Amino acid sequence: MEATAFAHPNIALVKYWGKRDTDLNLPVAGSLSLTLGGLSTTTRVRYRDDISRDIVILDGKELRQGSRAYQRVVEFVQLVRNESNHDYFAEVETANDFPTAAGLASSASGFAALALAATSAAGLHLLDEQLSALARRGSGSAARSIYGGFAEMRRGSRKDGHDAFAVPIAGPEHWDLRCVVAVTTQGEKDISSTEGMLRTQESSPLFTPWADTVAGDIVEATDAIKARDFQALGRVAERSCLGMHASAMAADPGVIYWNPTTLELIHRVRRARRDGLQVFFTIDAGPHVKVFCPARELSAVRSVLGQIGGVSDLIVARPGEGAALVAADA
């Protein structure tokens, strides 16, 4: 009863921000993303009859029982145990090859890999849509990392959340884009995405007007992806990102994820675009800036971003594959 799976993080081009049900982790609106190859989480789940509680090892270190991260994993494993016909405790060993909890969406790849490994080790064989809905329970963005390339998260309308899952739009081979992650600080972020979302939806007058734009943005982004229209995709992606952050900043107290380098990067990307480079940015619940360009523009984009003092690292990713099993022995 053991399985190992990997998954890649994804970056939303139409943002997910806001929950309509916190227990089932149901989103207020849909979202749309690109799964990023080159960065990955690998997770092994082993159900054991010789342990008396779940054990979670993250990047080589055992998580303290009672810590928030431990609790999130154990609650998720319990969901899988409820669906299967065994009650063994699990040893979960997971490792990221990129910084954890720094706005690089390690929760997306983490819960996608965990959903696949935990169900496979338990002998459960779920359809992609079921796996995506399950991954959503761990982290909303994880629902999208089940698929490679571009994926759309559906809001769904059922109370039980069974129709709130992601679906594929186009595979990783569809469009040879690059995403350069400009890392502006190291370390963990101050306000988790859940905390930021809840504060925004509870107190920001801009939240509902922004959420009302999401469905239209998904249609526009999907059309742009299908037509490989870079300019159109960039326009909707920057609009969605800035609208999400504006709504968060207007919360009480304001939720601000940016640092001075984040803002400098925004202006630099826009200037580069005026100068003729095909490039756009997006930013998640952290200070890093993700810069998209066609593959042929990569070296020009790197040199523009590399000149900015506050940028500590540039991580280049390309469209990646969906979550997959490395090994299973259920």
Q: How many CB atoms lie within 10 A of CB 31?
A: 28
| Shortest distance (Å) from residue 294 CB to ligand PMV | 23
Cα–Cα distances in angstroms (integers) from residue 322 to residues 3, 66, 92, 118, 180, in the given order: 17, 31, 20, 16, 20
- Would you tell me how many other CB atoms lie within 10 Å of the CB of residue 204? 22
Exactly one of 285, 291, 311, 323 binds ligand PMV (CB under 6 A); which one? Answer: 285
- The whole-angstrom separation of Cα 117 and Cα 42 is 9
Q: Which is nearer to ligand PMV, 108 or 169 (CB)?
A: 108
Q: Closest distance between ligand PMV and the C-beta of residue 244, in Å? A: 7
Q: Tell me how long the chain is.
A: 330
Sign for the pseudo-dihedral over CA of 76, 64, 106, 43: negative
- Give whichever of 15 and 46 is closer to ligand PMV, judged by the CB atom: 15
Residue 298 Cβ vs ligand PMV, minimum distance, rounded to whole Å:
23
Cα 127 from Cα 124, distance rounded (Å): 10
Residue 264 CA neighbour count, 13 Å, CB half: 14
Binding mask 70-109 for ligand PMV (x = CB under 6 A): -----------------------------------x-xx-
- Pattern of binders to ligand PMV over 11-40, x per CB under 6 A? -x--xx--------------x---------
Strand partners, 328: 3
- Closest Cα partner for 292 from 226, 216, 225, 245? 225
Nearer to ligand PMV by C-beta: 121 or 133? 133
Q: Which of 193, 201, 247, 262 binds ligand PMV (CB under 6 A)?
A: 193
To ligand PMV, the closest distance from the beta carbon of 17 in angstroms equals: 6
Q: Which is nearer to ligand PMV, 4 or 240 (CB)?
A: 240
Closest CA to 272 of 306, 228, 244, 240: 306
Residues from 106 through 145 that contact ligand PMV (CB under 6 A)? 107-108, 139-141
Query: Is 262 an interacting residue with respect to ligand PMV (CB under 6 A)?
Result: no
| CB 23, min distance to ligand PMV, A | 14
- Residues 171, 148: contact at Cβ < 8 Å? yes
Q: Which is nearer to ligand PMV, 69 or 300 (CB)?
A: 69
Q: Contact positions toward ligand PMV, by CB under 6 A?
A: 12, 15-16, 31, 105, 107-108, 139-141, 193-194, 284-285
